[in-house]
């Protein structure tokens, strides 16, 4: 059966399975070997070459999910980001990043690229016109993130892809917040799609991994660099990630539904100053998001009304976990200033609109009434403390 003819949950469940030819088991067997035969074989297999049976199977599943020809998996999301960038950049080149990025990507750009003679620019905004103003004769790559972390800004993927093609540039996107369930950038002309597979692909807060999907030619180019950098993933984690992907469509759909309801609840709450979620009609990019996303995702962010303290609010939560990562089946909140964007200076954060009181909310699969109840009791607790103080 062609992967182009089957649905999302069927791809999640079946594509890339490693057949159990000996015992006919229902799940992929795990091949833990780090040493394989080299004579009289079609493929010389080695974990660092991304071609063990489990690595190959998982890569096929991720490629199918992202409507791409091929994929590679890595030891973390940052490994995927850095390997992809370094595969296409060399001394003398220039790369453009959109405004507002995951803090780890920002830190990689600002602390590492210049060591290799690679220059970079950050666009003033999120539109293709903002990116176009930064193009230089030596520009090679445009890197975007939509929805962005943590303010959920939306970038027009078609406009960026058309701009890149006109200028013969390569496009890359961090598609982590959307996941392949909600958005497929290859359909809009984006060349290289990157994920922190730790997030929605793993989905249970127990796997650290990264993924890159693209055309076979681009994956071949990334592979040539990556076998030197050594960021491969152990087959035990590969097996666990393939297992987790089987339920990704179901999990993310539930998280989409919950996030929409929680965003509407927070937007109408007297103690909330601002809510950032592309599924809200009030979001400045709602129409654009609707045109390029299948669902609006499980991520949102919000700010409490002064003088309510965000840190005290999160400490008062009883069900929702104050936790550093995102996209697990359990709901979590964090302060970007203290975690995901802590490596950025306060000045740079404020340029991107990331204020100290911002809270990022990764909505899980719990009952909405329970999530609302937890937020209400935490707000009541913080307001009481504020009055007493």
Instruction: Kindly write down the DSSP assignment for every residue of 128-141, as one continuous string.
Output: HHHHHTT--TTEEE
Predicted pLDDT of residue 387: 59
The predicted model scores a pTM of 0.94
Q: Identify the sign of the CA torsion 127, 129, 130, 136.
A: positive
What letter does residue 30 receive in the DSSP assignment? P
- Nearest to residue 190, comparing CAs of 114, 113, 98? 98
Give the number of other CB atoms < 10 A from CB of residue 104: 19
Predicted pLDDT of residue 385: 72
CA–CA separation, 102 and 95 (whole Å): 16
Predicted pLDDT of residue 357: 80
Instruction: Quick: pLDDT tens for 248-298.
Output: 999 999 999 999 999 999 999 999 999 999 999 999 999 999 999 999 999
CA–CA separation, 33 and 54 (whole Å): 11
- Would you say 212 and 84 are in contact if contact means Cβ atoms under 8 Å apart? yes
CA–CA separation, 298 and 254 (whole Å): 8
Predicted pLDDT of residue 384: 85
- Nearest to residue 234, comparing CAs of 378, 363, 47? 47
Residue ranges in the chain whose pLDDT is less than 70? 1-4, 339-345, 348-353, 386-389
- For the sheet with 170-174, list strands across it: 70-74, 210-214, 192-196, 170-174, 139-145, 94-97, 119-122
Predicted pLDDT of residue 259: 98
Predicted pLDDT of residue 368: 98
- Residue 102 class from Cβ within 10 Å (0-12 exposed, 13-18 middle, 19+ buried)? buried
Predicted pLDDT of residue 349: 67
């Amino acid at each position: 059966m062609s992967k182009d003819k089957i649905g999302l949950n069927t791809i999640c469940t079946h594509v890339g399975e490693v057949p159990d030819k000996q015992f006919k088991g229902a799940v992929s067997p795990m091949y833990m070997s780090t040493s394989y035969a080299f004579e009289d074989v079609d493929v010389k297999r080695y974990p660092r070459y991304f071609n063990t049976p489990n690595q190959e199977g998982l890569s096929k599943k991720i490629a199918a999910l992202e409507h791409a020809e091929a994929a590679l998996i890595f030891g973390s999301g940052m490994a995927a980001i850095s390997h992809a960038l370094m595969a296409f950049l060399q001394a003398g080149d220039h790369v453009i990043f959109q405004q507002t990025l995951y803090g780890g990507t920002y830190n990689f750009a600002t602390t590492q690229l210049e060591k290799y003679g690679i220059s970079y620019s950050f666009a003033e905004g999120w539109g293709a016109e903002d990116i176009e103003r930064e193009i230089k004769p030596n520009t090679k790559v445009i890197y975007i993130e939509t929805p962005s972390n943590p303010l959920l800004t939306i970038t027009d993927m078609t406009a960026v892809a058309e701009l890149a093609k006109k200028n013969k540039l390569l496009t890359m996107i961090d598609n982590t917040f959307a996941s392949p369930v909600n958005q497929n950038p290859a359909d809009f002309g984006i060349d290289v799609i990157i994920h922190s597979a730790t997030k929605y692909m793993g989905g249970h807060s127990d796997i650290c991994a990264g993924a890159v999907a693209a055309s076979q030619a681009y994956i071949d180019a990334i592979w040539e660099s990556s076998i030197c950098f050594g960021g491969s993933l152990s087959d035990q984690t590969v097996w666990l990630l393939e297992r987790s992907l089987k339920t990704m469509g179901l999990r993310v759909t539930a998280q989409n539904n919950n996030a929409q309801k929680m965003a509407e609840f927070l937007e109408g709450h007297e103690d909330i100053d601002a809510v950032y979620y592309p599924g809200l009609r009030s979001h400045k990019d709602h129409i654009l998001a609707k045109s390029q996303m299948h669902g609006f995702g499980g991520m949102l962010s919000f700010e409490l009304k002064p003088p309510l303290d965000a840190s005290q609010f999160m400490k008062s939560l009883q069900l929702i976990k104050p936790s550093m990562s995102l996209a697990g089946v359990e709901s979590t909140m964090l302060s970007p200033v203290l975690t995901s964007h802590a490596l950025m200076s306060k000045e740079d954060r404020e340029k991107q609109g990331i204020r100290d009181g911002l809270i990022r909310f990764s909505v899980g699969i719990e009952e909405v009434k329970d999530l609302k109840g937890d937020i209400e009791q935490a707000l009541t607790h913080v307001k009481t403390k504020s009055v007493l103080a």
